[in-house]
Amino acid sequence: MKIQTQFHLLIAGIIIVPILSILSQILFFNYWERNAQAEFPVYDDAVLGEYISRQDWEAISRFIARSNADVTVFSNDFLALYSTIPDFKTGAVGTKEEIFDLLTAKNGRYRYNFESPGWLEGKECILIRHGLQDSPRPPLFPLVSAILLFAALVIFAISMSLFIARSITRSVLVLEDATKRIAEGDLDLTVDVRGSNEITSLTSSLNKMRAALKENENRRYRFVMGVTHDLKTPLALIRGYTEALKDGVIGDPGSRVNAVNIIISKADQLEGMINDLIEFVRMDTGEWRNRLQKINLGEFLKSFARRVSMDAELFHHHTAIDITLPPSLFVPLDERLAVRALENLVNNAIRYTPAGTTVRLGAALAENAVRITVSDNGPGISKDDLPYVFEAFYRGSSSRREEGMGLGLSIVKWVVTSHGWSIAVSSNSEGATAETCFTITVPL
């Protein structure tokens, strides 16, 4: 039960219990009054007409209902018009002496008094007999009900308060212990708090946070290990050739020039790797989202296609461009990152396919979205590598001979998904029908 609901029940109980008690008292008194009124005879014009008016009779009826005692109603000549006192029968005539004796008698059982309601103007009077030992209405009822009400309120408030306090304390203690252990690095801990209050809902968020922290830690570990491994290779070559030149191991002028060229090449490779890492981290922070602009997608892709066509020719590849987008189509994107993602896809198609391969770039509208495709008819990606091509630092079997860190397609995935787009890959590596196709879907 939610903590807020528990407090609502506590407040509702404190309000409702007194209301129910008051209503019960009202119903109780109404019950006695209805019974008393039921015993009082209905006004009969033929019997009572010459002694009392209907209006006065009804007034006396209401007065007697409130008195809740034995009464005798006398007319002005002491005729008993109505009586529940045994000493006077209805219809009998009493005397002043009998009434006086009753008023002054002290038998320890009853007390008598006369009432002459003001609205009767002295014409009729009521003799009232009160029992000293018992009464038709319990005189302690209001006090007893008040005591019971107070006791019920105290018991209810204490019970609900203890229940709420116990529920909160138990959940908070478990949560406190869990947060301490997670803060100390125990990311394998699963927090389990039973119940359905707000704190138990918080534990679900805590478990998600713990899982995210663990995944980030694993990701950071893989990141560091991948960077360390990939940076060591060019550094080792640079160091080796530098020491060889320093020690004079390479004495031939042509060999020295070749060694210097290798060192420059590996330095360029290191620079490219570092740029990839910087780009990867920048994308992870999301700062690039502040640079989104609405770009004419068709013109953007056609300009990119003209540039990559020249790059493909340098590597003796063919290009096929098929961009059929309306000229009024604008899409919010970061142009620099989008170019980087498309370059990675096209460069992969050029680097990992033999000369003479055709690289295709296409874009068309389909189902309220733009489909951008980059494909080639090279050897394709093996089925074992296909599920992992977008993972950081993963390098497929066909790319392990090439320089790089395995971040290219991971950056493509980050750029695409961070723009709110999606990407899919398909590949067929069987003989003459081999083809690899990357499809970026831009929803409109």
Q: What is the pLDDT of residue 63?
A: 77
pLDDT tens string 211-269: 788 777 776 776 666 667 667 767 887 888 888 888 888 878 888 888 888 888 788 87
Residue type, 299: E
At residue 319, what are phi and psi to the nearest 5 degrees? -125, 145
Q: Where are the beta strands (DSSP E) in 94-242?
A: 110-115, 125-131
Q: Name which of 319, 314, 309, 436 is nearest 376 in CA terms.
A: 436
Contact 129, 70 (CB under 8 A): yes
Q: What is the pLDDT of residue 370?
A: 95
Ordered domains of the chain (ranges, CATH):
40-137 (no CATH), 223-287 (1.10.287.130), 290-443 (3.30.565.10)
b vs e for 14-30, b when ≥16 Cβ sit within 10 Å of the residue's Cβ? eeebeeebeeeeeeeee
Q: What is the pLDDT of residue 325?
A: 93
- β-pairing, 125-131 vs 318-324, is unpaired
Q: What is the pLDDT of residue 72?
A: 82
What is the Cα–Cα distance from 93 to 70, expressed in whole angstroms? Answer: 18
Q: Name which of 125, 60, 51 is nearest 91 in CA terms.
A: 51
pTM of the model: 0.46
What does pLDDT average to in each consecutive run of 10 residues of the chain (444 residues)? Answer: 63 70 66 54 78 82 75 81 83 80 72 63 66 51 68 77 74 75 74 61 75 76 66 79 83 83 82 72 63 88 88 84 92 86 86 85 92 88 80 57 61 85 85 79 92
Q: What is the pLDDT of residue 77?
A: 77
Q: What is the pLDDT of residue 432?
A: 58
CA distances from 384 to 168, 390, 397 (A): 51, 13, 9
Q: What is the pLDDT of residue 71?
A: 82
Look up tokens 């059929």; give the residue: 324
Q: What is the pLDDT of residue 283?
A: 62
CA distances from 6 to 1, 120, 144, 151 (A): 7, 58, 29, 20
Q: Which are the contacts of 20, defined by CB distance < 8 A and separation ≥ 6?
A: none
Q: How many CB atoms lie within 10 A of CB 259?
A: 19
Q: What is the pLDDT of residue 399?
A: 46
Q: What is the pLDDT of residue 28?
A: 61
